[in-house]
Structure 1
């Protein structure tokens, strides 16, 4: 590990060259002259015995060997972060960094409250939260840019370990003045009779909706599609639109104009919130401690829904 640490600057430069496609830009970001960046890159390629970048007229691009090297670099930085966490723990500082890839459903209430509770105990731990669809979140785990993923999905990739699974039914979400807002449960056909504002087809809830429609030979043409649930909630709050969400993404907020009503499980299958980690990876102490907290919270999770449910 100590030997690897001597090469950290060079490895970071390789990451930045790969990201920006430019030796000059990588050097500017790292406050190093382009000629010094070139020397470090050449020395690394000599040690490896082959080039890792294609030199193109408009910049630099990783070749197949470089893609392998970049994946190795990401693994090395993950190991370095774990080492730093262990050293901080020994010194009593309890510092560290946690990187999370997550679905939009958990960012409105669940994840913020978990981070606040964690930082009350460990205020020196920093977080990076990236909101992604389930495919992109899995990719972040695979390239070591995320420590964990908290996603709503209808399947499970083979290269990840599922720590906790929480079933989530589909709920209709609408404004308090919507004609269906007073109901205790809804059939899917009743929902489809109203103007729809739906998440894009890549989102887990939309996948389940499309499957349910395909099984009965039906199709829908939503009035609005969007990749932001905050936008969709704003649309249904002030208009006659209806959208769909899962309980963890539709918490009770005092004075909220939003009402949620469960859709009959005979009409549409439930999906799952998955808490995932990359198979075989040992997390840094700060990330593992937060993962343990999330595991406990999800294992005892009970949805709190808006008044119409």
Structure 2
């Protein structure tokens, strides 16, 4: 994002850092490479330190350069916030809002909410980032994303929780599976069948492992993956059972390809889905409007998926 409050030199440093090349940065900015090189050299002379390490294959930030880039990025975020606040003072319902959400939410809930918001507030533009919980939490804490919707990180994280919904866990299986006849399924019931688990770097896996340990003879997954879409495909194809939420299977459940049965152990094990913002942030009007919409979406989720 380019803002009128940033100086050309700030744009030069930022673009070279992102591209790793003065030539590519010059192409992007429609300026000569020599002009960028000269400006960066003058800035380095003022700092008395090299900002970039010149390498045969491009430019890489030095430690001093990383500090300068972080300062520029922070200024960029502050500038965007300032412009948004000025527009509020002018009575304009405009702004740009960035949202980070889990892949599951990006396939149904997030598009529906953004479509509704665009109809009611056509002046607001959106940037939707789909990622895992750790990335979303980090980006909100760093100020790169305005709003996060993902699994609650717990612990001392600089975020303000606006809504937390405990989502019940169940067992997903192909239609016609023997366990589909049961109203409630335990992890012991699942033990004789192949199991598919999320990979160990996913927050959802942490809860599954806690449940698994409590079973006595733990279940060993036959497949582990960090892709929820792959897990859904494997369930549809009958490759195994997946411990997940019904929220993750809306499309498959609607067409009857997959069934989802509550997990017995989920009576004491739920996973908290969290709507949050950075804790020390004064939210612009556009962000507040989007937060209100997603609070309603979270209430709807609570009614459908709390078990």
Aligned to 1:54: 53
What's the offset of the Cα at 1:48? 4.4
Partner of 1:212: 211
- Is the 8 Å Cα contact of residues 71 and 143 (structure 1) preserved in structure 2? no
Task: Quote how far apart the aligned CAs of 1:59 are.
Answer: 2.3
RMSD: 2.7
**Residue in 2 aligned with 1:258?**
258
Distance 2:214 2:254 in 1: 38
Shift of residue 152, structure 1, vs aligned partner: 1.5
How many Å separate the matches in 1 of 2:249 and 2:269?
Answer: 18
Q: Is the 8 A contact 2:211 2:265 kept in 1?
A: no
Is residue 204–residue 271 contact of structure 1 (8 Å, CA) maintained in 2? no
1:34 to 1:283, Cα distance in 2 relative to 1, 3 A: farther
Report the TM-score when normalising by structure 1.
0.85
**Counterpart contact for 1:110–1:248, Cα < 8 Å:** no
User: Using a 3 Å threshold, how does the CA distance of structure 1 residues 284 and 60 change in structure 2: closer, same or farther?
Assistant: farther
Tell me by how many angstroms 1:143 deviates. 3.2
Per-residue CA deviations over 1:147-204 (Å, capped at 9, x if unaligned) read: 1211124534422222221111212112222221232211011123222222222222
DSSP 3-state at the match of 2:151: strand
- Check conservation: 1:100, 1:130, Cα contact below 8 A: yes
Q: How far did residue 102 of structure 1 move?
A: 1.9
Which is worse superposed, 292-301 or 28-37? 292-301
User: The residue matched to 1:180 in structure 2 has which SS?
Assistant: helix
**Cα-to-partner distance string for 1:70-115 (whole Å, 9 max, x where unaligned):** 2222222222222332344455653322212222232222222221
Post-superposition Cα deviations, 1:245-276, rounded to whole Å, max 9, x if no partner, equal 22432336532412111111368722211122
Q: Give deviations 1:199-232, integer Å, cap 9, x for gaps.
A: 2222222211112223456444423222221221
- Alignment CA distance shift 1:192-1:24 (3 Å): farther
Cα 1:191/1:11, change in 2 over 3 Å: farther
SS in 2 for 1:26: helix
| 260-269 vs 22-31, greater mean Cα deviation | 260-269
More helix by share: 2
Report the CA distance shift for 1:284/1:110 in structure 2 as closer, same or farther (over 3 A): same
Distance in 1 separating the partners of 2:272 and 2:227: 19
Instruction: Please name the residue that 1:278 is paired with.
Output: 278
Which residue in the other structure is 1:111 paired with? Answer: 110
CA–CA separation in structure 1 for the residues paired with 2:248 and 2:293: 19
The residue number in structure 1 matching 2:143 is 144
TM-score, scaled relative to structure 2: 0.86
Gaps of 5+ in 1: none
More off after superposition, 72-81 vs 36-45:
36-45
Counterpart contact for 1:138–1:149, Cα < 8 Å = yes
Aligned length: 303
Equivalent residue for 2:24?
25
**Equivalent residue number for residue 171 of structure 1:** 170
Q: Is the 8 Å Cα contact of residues 149 and 274 (structure 2) preserved in structure 1?
A: yes
1:30, 1:198 → 2: CA distance?
46
1:126 is aligned to 125
Q: Aligned partners of 1:214 and 1:177: how far apart in 2?
A: 28
